[in-house]
Amino acid sequence: MLQRLQHLLEIESLTTEQISFILDQSKPFQEFQRHPLKKLATLRGKTVAIAFFEASTRTRISFTTAASRLGADTMNLQAEASSLKKGESLLDTVRTLEAMRPDGIVIRHSSSGAAAFVAERLEIPVLNAGDGTHEHPTQALLDALTLRDHKQKLNDWNVTILGDILHSRVARSNIHLLTKFGARITLCGPAMWIPRELEELGPCIRRTTNIEDSLRGADVIIVLRTQTERIHEPALPVDEYVLGYQLTKERLQLAAPDALVMHPGPMIRGLEIDPAVADGPQCAVLEQVTNGLAVRMALLYHLIGGAPVDAPHPAKERSNASD
Amino acid sequence: MRVVEKRQLLSAQEIDRTLQRLAHEIVEKSGGAKDLAFIGVRRRGVPLAQRLAKIISNFSRVDVPVGTLDITLYRDDLSTVGPQPVVHSTDIDFTVDDRDLVVVDDVLYTGRTIRAAMNGLFDLGRPRRIRLCVLIDRGHRELPVEATFVGKNLQTSETEIVEVHLQEIDNEERVVLVDRVP
Amino acid sequence: MLLIKNGRVIDPASNTDTVQDVLIEDSHISRIGTGLSAGSAEILDAAGLIVAPGFIDLHCHLREPGQELSETIETGTRSAARGGFAAVCCMPNTVPVNDNASVTRAIVERAAAKGSVRVWPIGAASAGSKGEALAEIAAMKAAGIVAVSDDGKPVATARLMRQVMEYCNSLGLLVIDHCEDPSLFAGGVMREGKQSVKLGLKGIPSQSESICVGRDVEVAALTGARLHIAHMSARASLEYVRAAKKQGLRVTCEVTPHHFTLIDEDVRYDSHYKMNPPLASREDREALIEGLADGSVDAIATDHAPHHPASKDVEFDRAPFGITGFETALALGLSELVQPGRLSLNRLVELFTIGPARVLGIERKIEAGQPADITVFSIDHPWTFRSKDSPSKSRNSPFNGRAFRGAPAATIVAGRIVYKQ
C-alpha cells in the first residue's frame, strides 16, 4: 500500500512508486476530459482554497477547473506579493483562509519554501503550485505524464533542459523527477544561469553553454521561459539570448528524430522558441495543458478527498463492492 | 474479524449454464441483438459482460460491443475516513447515445453501485434504455434499483458476503457465500 | 565583600591557571590567594568551576532606542548576564541611529539605570549610517562610545572609510566594519553554494565579504588606523587579516559562535538559520576554527540580534537577518571547540576576555586593583537551552532545545552578582 501523502510540496522527497502511482491515477482523469459532461460529484461539498500570491493565469485556471470538475467549490485568492510590500503576512492570510474551513489549499508564492512554511502551520493538505525558485511539482508530473505517453516508459532518456535553469522551479522539479527514473540530463543556458552546483542535484547531470552540443541525441527537450529582466542582476539582451539559445528548427534537427519538445508555458514565440517548432509536430505543449488538468484532478482527488491522514481507519465497510 | 466460507453457491458449470441462459434471455427480451451494448462494471462485471457477448456472438453472429466502466468517481458512499480508493479507467469506445445498454455486474446488493454506474453513463451521453444483468441478486436494496436479468436470487444476512470468483481475475471459477465472524 | 572560594582561576593576562580564592571589596578585586577568609563576606563556592575575568562581547544589538518590541537594554543585558558576559558593546543601528552624543548618553544612562551588565556603546561611523557624512564621532567619544561602526551595513566607500579611519585614529578610536559588497550581496538570503541552489534561495558568494575585508585592510595600511573586522565568516577574509597582521597592521577580527558551529548545509526553510553574514561553507568553518586556535582570530563575539517572534515567523525571503546569541555562546565554545580538542580551555577564555579587551585597547585581568568583573562557569554542567526561558524578548535561535555541557554559574560586574545559576 502506497504511503499516504498528506501534502504535495515537492518532487525531491517522492519515491518512484509514488510518482508512478500519481501518473497512473492521472490516466482515468485524462480520459475524463473527453466526456461530454465534465462534472463529477466525487468531491462534492469539499472546498479547495486556491491561494495565488504570484501572478499566474494558466496554473490557477487549471487548478480551479480541476477542483470544479471534481465537484468541489473553490475559494480564490489572488494577491500580488513582493518582499517590499507591507501588509498582512502570509501566515495571517492563510490562517484567515483556514478559518473558513477549506478542505485543502493550493498555494503559489514567490518565496522558496513558502508551501512548506504553510504546510507546517495549517491542519489541511497543501499542494504546492510553485514556490519561488524551489519547485513546481505538478508541472514536473504533467511533463512526466506527457513524456510517458509518448515514450511508453520513464527511463534513461536523454533530456535537455534549455534556458535559465538557476531561477527555474520547473527545471528543478523536472531534474528531481527524471533523475529518479534514470534520465540523463543536460542543462544548457547562458553561463551565469547554469552554476556548477546544479550538477549535484542528481546523478547523471551535465552542463553546457553550447546549444548544439546539448541537443545532439536528445530524446526530450524542455524549453524554459525566459525572463530577460531581472531584479538585482544585469539583464541579458534579448537578441543575445535568441542568438545563443533559441530552439530553432535547424537546431532541433540535431536531436533524435522523434524528440519530444515540451514547454511549461507561456511561450514567447520568437524568443526562446521558434514559432515553426512551437507549431510543429514534435511540440507537445497543448497536450501538456490537458495533462495538467488530469494530474491536478488526480492529486486533488487523493489529497483532498477522503480523510485526513491520521484519521483512524474504519471497521470493514458495509458493501459488496470488490476493489 | 475473520471470514469463513459457509457454502458454495455455484460451481463452474453452474456459472456457465447461468450465463448461457442469461445471454439467450437478453437477446429474446431485446428484440434481437442489434442495438445492444454491454457495460461491464469493474471489476468482475467486465469478464461477465465479455463472456455474455461471446456467447451471443456464437449463437446469433452479432457482435455486441462491450465497454468497461469504473464507478469509483461516481460512488456516493466514499467515506470520510480512510484514504481514497484507487481510480481505474473507464473504457467505452462506442457512443452511449441512443443505445440499448445492459449494465453487467456480478452481485446486486444495495443498489448503490448501479446508481453510480448510471451517473457515470449519463455523463457520457443519453442512452435509449439501461437495463441491469447480474449473476447474483442477494437482496437488501437501499435504493429503487431492479435487475431485469438475474442469474440467481438469494436470501442473505447482513454479515454474509457473496464472493464471485472468476477465472480471469481469481484463477478459479465458483461463487461462494462467506460469513464474517468475530 | 564577596569571596569566591576554591575556583580554578584562569587569568590569561598573567598566565594563571590554579585553584585560588578571589576576594572582592567594593567594586574591585582586593586579594587573590589560597585559603582566604573574610568575616562578613558573602561566599560564592566555586569548587569545580572556572573563575575567569568577566567576559566581554564586542558585538551585540540591544535595540534600544526605537525597537523595544524586540529587546531593551534591560532585557538584553539580563540575557547577557545569563550568558556570562560582564560587558557588552552595542551597535548603533538603533532608531534613531546612535550617531550623536545625545543618543549615546541616552543609552549610557539607560544602561546605568536598568542594565545588568556594563554597556559600552559603539557609535555610527557616518551620520545615520548613510555612508555620506561623518557622524559626530568626537562628541560621541566624550559621551562614552568605545568604537565606531556602520554595522548592519559596510562603511559605504573606500574614500569614506579612509576619512573615518584617519579621524578615528587621531581620536584613538577603533573602527569596526561589517564587511559586505552590496552589489554581490543584493537580494541574497544565504550563502551561495549547493544548498542555496537546492533550496532555490538566492545566494551570496563569500567574496561579498572578502572583497570588502581586502578593501578595508588596504585602507588601514594607508592610514595606520586600528581596524576590527566584525563577524568574520570566510576563509578568504581570514587570509587578508593574517596577511595584515604579518605586515604589522593593527587589524583584528572576531568570529561568532554560530559561524564556528553551523554551515550553509544546515540551512533549511526556517528563518532561525538566516543571518548576516550567512552561515558559510564547511571549508570556511574549518579555517575559522584554525584561526581561533592559532591566534589569527582575536575574539569571539555573539552578534546577538534579537527580532520579536512575529517578525521572524515569515517566509525565509522576508525574514530579517539575525539570531540571538548571548546565552549559547560559552556552551557552543565548549562543545564545538574545547571538548573536541580544537582549542584549549585557556584559549577559549582568552577569546572571551583579553582577546576582546585588547581589541578595545583596555585591560582585562584578575589582579588586585582591577575592576571586579568576573565570570564563573562550569565546563560539565548538563543543561538544555530553551529560548522561551530566556530573559530576552526574542526567541530567534537555531539552538532552541539543544543539550549542552557547561554553562555560566555566576556573573559578577563591579563586585555585584548580576546572575547566579
d(CA C296, CA C246): 10
d(CA C268, CA C212): 27
pLDDT of A85 reads: 52
CB contacts under 8 A, B 49-68 vs A, are none
Q: Print burial letters for B6-21: b (CB count within 10 Å at least 16), e (below 16).
A: eeebbeeebbeebbee
Q: Do A142 and A264 fall within a single domain?
A: yes
Q: Do A119 and A193 fall within a single domain?
A: no
- Partnered with residue B106 across adjacent β-strands are none
Q: Do A146 and A277 fall within a single domain?
A: yes
Residue B61 contacts by C-beta under 8 Å, 6 or more apart in sequence? none
How large is the angle between the packed helices C207-223 and C235-246, nearest 10 degrees? 20
- CB pair distance less than 8 Å for A111 and C315: yes
- Cite the active site residues of C: 303
Instruction: Read off the pLDDT of residues B37-88 as tens digits, 9 standing for 90 and up.
Output: 999 999 999 999 999 999 999 998 899 999 999 999 998 776 666 778 899 9
- CB pair distance less than 8 Å for A306 and B87: no
pLDDT of C249 reads: 98
Under 8 Å between Cβ of A265 and A285: yes
In chain B, residues with a C-beta closer than 8 Å to the C-beta of A4 are: 83
Q: Do A297 and A239 fall within a single domain?
A: no
On whether any CB of chain A is under 8 Å from the CB of C193, the answer is yes
Closest Cβ opposite residue B77 in set A39, A316, A319: A319
pLDDT of B81 reads: 61
Instruction: Read off the pLDDT of residues B84-136 as tens digits, 9 standing for 90 and up.
Output: 889 998 999 999 999 999 999 999 999 999 999 999 999 999 999 999 999 99
In chain C, residues with a C-beta closer than 8 Å to the C-beta of A113 are: 199-201, 269, 315-317
CB contacts under 8 A, B 105-124 vs A, are 106-107, 109-110, 112-113, 119, 122-124
- CB pair distance less than 8 Å for C193 and A197: yes
Q: Do A199 and A293 fall within a single domain?
A: no
Q: Which residue segment(s) compose the domain that A81 sits in?
A: 16-136+288-304
CA distance A203 to chain B (A): 32
Q: Do A262 and A297 fall within a single domain?
A: no
On whether any CB of chain C is under 8 Å from the CB of A170, the answer is no
Domain residue limits, chain C: 2-50+370-420, 54-360
Look up residue C289 and give its three cell numbers. Answer: 576554527
Instruction: State the average pLDDT for chain B.
Output: 92
pLDDT of C122 reads: 98
pLDDT of A115 reads: 96
- CB pair distance less than 8 Å for C200 and A90: no
Q: In a structure prediction context, what are the per-residue pLDDT tens digits for chain A, which is 323 residues long?
A: 345 789 999 999 999 999 999 999 999 999 999 988 899 989 998 999 999 998 888 999 999 999 999 999 999 987 765 433 556 788 888 888 889 999 999 999 999 999 999 999 998 999 999 999 999 999 999 999 999 999 999 999 999 999 999 999 999 999 999 999 999 999 999 998 999 999 999 999 999 999 999 999 999 999 999 876 666 677 788 888 999 999 999 999 999 999 999 999 899 999 999 999 999 999 999 999 999 999 999 999 999 986 555 444 443 333 444 43
Closest Cβ opposite residue C313 in set A91, A114, A200: A91
Task: Assess whether pLDDT exceeds 60 at residue B167.
Answer: yes
Instruction: Read off the pLDDT of residues C127-143 as tens digits, 9 standing for 90 and up.
Output: 999 999 999 999 999 99
- CB pair distance less than 8 Å for B77 and A311: no
Architecture of domain C2-50+370-420: Roll (2.30)
Query: Which is nearest to A184 in space by CA: A210, A214, A209?
Result: A214
- CB pair distance less than 8 Å for B122 and A321: no
CA distance C18 to chain A (A): 52
| Domain annotation covers residue A309 | no
Q: Do A177 and A111 fall within a single domain?
A: no
DSSP-derived 3-state class of residue A115: helix
| Total tally of structural domains belonging to chain A | 2
Spell out where C164-285 has E strands: 174-177, 190-191, 203-204, 227-229, 251-255
Closest Cβ opposite residue A320 in set B1, B78, B107: B107
On whether any CB of chain A is under 8 Å from the CB of B74, the answer is yes
| Domain annotation covers residue A194 | yes
What is the Cα C36 distance to its own chain's centre? Answer: 34
Q: Do A169 and A227 fall within a single domain?
A: yes
| Domain annotation covers residue A6 | no
pLDDT of B80 reads: 61
CA distance A205 to chain B (A): 34
Q: Do A131 and A148 fall within a single domain?
A: no
Q: Using CB atoms within 10 A of its CB, is residue A319 exposed (0-12), middle (13-18) or buried (19+)?
A: middle
* End-to-end CA gap in chain B: 5
| Domain annotation covers residue A317 | no
How large is the angle between the packed helices A90-99 and A114-121, nearest 10 degrees? 50
Tell which of B73, B124, B141, B142 to mutate to test the A interface (max A CBs under 10 Å).
Answer: B73
On whether any CB of chain C is under 8 Å from the CB of A187, the answer is no
Tell which of C196, C315, C321 to mutate to test the A interface (max A CBs under 10 Å).
Answer: C315
DSSP-derived 3-state class of residue C89: strand
Phi, psi of C21 (to 5 degrees): -105, 150
pLDDT of A317 reads: 37
Q: What is the CATH number of the domain that holds A107?
A: 3.40.50.1370
Confidence of residue B33 (pLDDT cuts 50, 70, 90): confident
Q: Do A28 and A82 fall within a single domain?
A: yes
Residue B116 contacts by C-beta under 8 Å, 6 or more apart in sequence? B71, B74, B75, B76
- CB pair distance less than 8 Å for A29 and B87: yes
Query: Which is nearest to A175 in space by CA: A164, A165, A167?
Result: A165
Q: DSSP secondary structure string, C15-71?
A: TEEEEEEEEEETTEEEEEESS---TTPEEEE-TTSEEEEPEEEEEE---TTT-TTT-
d(CA A209, CA C417): 65
pTM: 0.87
pLDDT of C287 reads: 98
- CB pair distance less than 8 Å for B84 and A319: no
Which of 3.40.50.10800, 3.40.50.2020, 3.40.640.10, 3.90.320.10 would CATH assign to domain B12-74+88-156? 3.40.50.2020
Q: Do A119 and A167 fall within a single domain?
A: no
- Which CATH number does C54-360 carry? 3.20.20.140
